Amino acid sequence: MSSKSQDRVHIEQVFSAYLRSLEEADIALASQVWVQSADVLVVTPIGRFQGWDGVKEIWARAEKEFSERKVQASNVSIVVAGDAAWLVFDFVFTATLADGKALQVKGWESHGYQRTADGWRIAHLHYSMAPSGTAGVL
């Protein structure tokens, strides 16, 4: 297997762990897939979050605001360029709000990955949701 192929496999493993960490609101698992530095950037429709503390805040909010979470990823694309890589995918996020109401949202997400001494880690994340009233929100 070529080095790029091995990198893709490792990134796919990190991506899979990222999805599990989000669904389980598991910050310990998230700590294994994120770069833990002040340089991490996360851009979402609800705001911009900086650093590892910002990531932990997002996971804490997910645990508090949703009693159940499920992310379905499709159309995944990975590009490896040396010690950097990016991954883009479409998602369907299905959740149960803390008050018991159901939520389902469609959108698009991109990750920036960095090769570290501990392997590939997410250093940047950006996601967008389709505007209300469009096919993106079910």
pLDDT tens track for 45-91: 889 999 999 999 999 999 999 999 999 999 999 999 999 999 999 99
Residue 135 has pLDDT above 70, yes or no: no
Which pTM was predicted?
0.91
Residue 2 has pLDDT above 80, yes or no: no
Q: Write the CA distances from 101 to 67, 79, 104, 131, 133, integer angstroms.
A: 10, 37, 10, 20, 18
Q: Range with the lowest mean pLDDT among 31-45, 74-88, 106-120, 121-135?
A: 121-135
Please give the CATH architecture assigned to the domain spanning 3-129: Roll (3.10)
CB atoms near residue 95 (< 10 Å): 19
